[in-house]
Amino acid sequence: MTEFRFLHTSDLHLGRRFGNLPEEARGLLAAARRDIVRSLADAARGHGAGHVFVAGDLFDTETPSDQVVRHALNAMGADPAIGWWIIPGNHDSLAAEALWDRFRRDAPGNVRLLDRAEPVEIIAGVSLLPAPAVWRHSGRDLTEWMVSAEVPEGNIRIGLAHGAVQTFASEDGGSEIIPPDRAETARLDYLALGDWHGHLRIGERTHYAGTPERDRFKHQGPGVCLAVSIAGSGAIPHVEPIRTGRFDWVDVEMPVTTEMEAGDAVRRALSTGGARREDTLLRLRATGWATLDQRLELSAAVSALAPDFCHFDYDETELATEYNVEDLDAIDVGGALRLAARALLDEASDKSLADDQRRVAEAALVRLYTIVKEDAS
């Protein structure tokens, strides 16, 4: 047969609500996730692939709305030349009988739910070995059956599974354990995995595609799918990541010293490599030491630049504060405020206290200093 080309994707989590983000960012991310099926279809056409393999978690929950399901099926059915082959994952396992009954009923002819652990010859010369998730936490290796699975001689063997490999933990704390050498023991030409939300190469025949539209800072950068080409049975697959995600997730550490100009430190740290800021979710983590005045300058610089981004998370929990007598004088040279500031400074500097307690005192002192400075201006 000629070279077989397909896309490998997983963890679309259609219907995700992003409840931990502000309302405006939630709406933008939800819209991008709704459009991701069309982006994958575009990537398939660009790669010359006639098939898309979804390695689990097409939906974010076992109870997505009718609208979420119908929109996904309509987008998949828009191009009948592309076949979609889907297994349930831990978020949308086969235990969601109502969901998959609806899916089977409404799915167009080019969309196939693989709900049994048995080989499927998707075209002449290519056999797909699916491992659908039966429950949210199956508690066992669902790929084990592939070792003894028989397919027509000379067929390309492709495994499709969702779960954790022994070399790292599952995204969702699942107990499923897939051996890292499963592709070898099951004679697979390629093992397409889902569950891990970033692209991860386990071996030359085993990959996690990651989510095509990122959803957390843990996996930085834009979402991708994998364009895979296999020349024939036994051939090493060629695997190429293709960007599909609109949004770029960036986690930046910003080291601070008491000698540097705070505004310049923020501006240098916010270089996003040319990415459009409105399509960037950024977490800026300040570390090191700063004076109270520097902390005010940092906060002002962050406040001025944050609206440029889709979402901006400023984290200064690891930024320690250097104090001096002049700082306390700026709050008050005497009276109740000075006594309060002195007590907070003593508590923040007391090495015998727990870190959390010291951080609370430090934050309170910074807040007091900020209020006094703002009132003075």
Delineate the domains of the chain, giving CATH numbers in brackets. 4-243 (3.60.21.10), 248-376 (no CATH)
Tell me, yes or no, if the pTM score tops 0.75. yes
Helix (H) or strand (E) holding 291: strand 280-291
What CA dihedral angle connects 263, 265, 269 and 274, to 10 degrees? Answer: 60
pLDDT tens, residue by residue, 24-59: 999 999 999 999 999 999 999 999 999 999 999 999
Residue 135 has pLDDT above 90, yes or no: no
Local structure of residue 308 (DSSP, 8 states): G
Q: Taking the mean position of all CA atoms in its chain, how far away is CA 310?
A: 16
Task: Give the model's pLDDT for residue 70.
Answer: 96
Distance CA 171, CA 60 (A): 13
Q: Which of 97, 123, 141, 120 is nearest to 3 (CA)?
A: 123
Pick the closest to residue 226 from 238, 213, 214 (CA basis).
Answer: 238
Q: For the segment 59-117, what is each residue's pLDDT rounded down to a tens digit? A: 999 999 999 999 999 999 999 999 999 999 999 999 999 999 999 999 999 999 999 99
What pLDDT, on a 0 to 100 scale, did the predictor assign at position 357?
Answer: 83
DSSP for residue 161: E
Alpha carbon of 73 to those of 11, 12, 50, 141, 250: distances in Å?
Answer: 16, 13, 17, 29, 32
**Minimal CA–CA distance to 69: which of 101, 32, 45, 25?**
101
Residue 116: what pLDDT? 96
How high is the pLDDT of residue 372? 73
State pLDDT tens for residues 169-216. 666 655 568 999 999 999 999 999 999 999 999 999 999 999 999 999
| DSSP letter, residue 377 | -
Q: Phi/psi of residue 326, each to 5°?
A: -60, -30
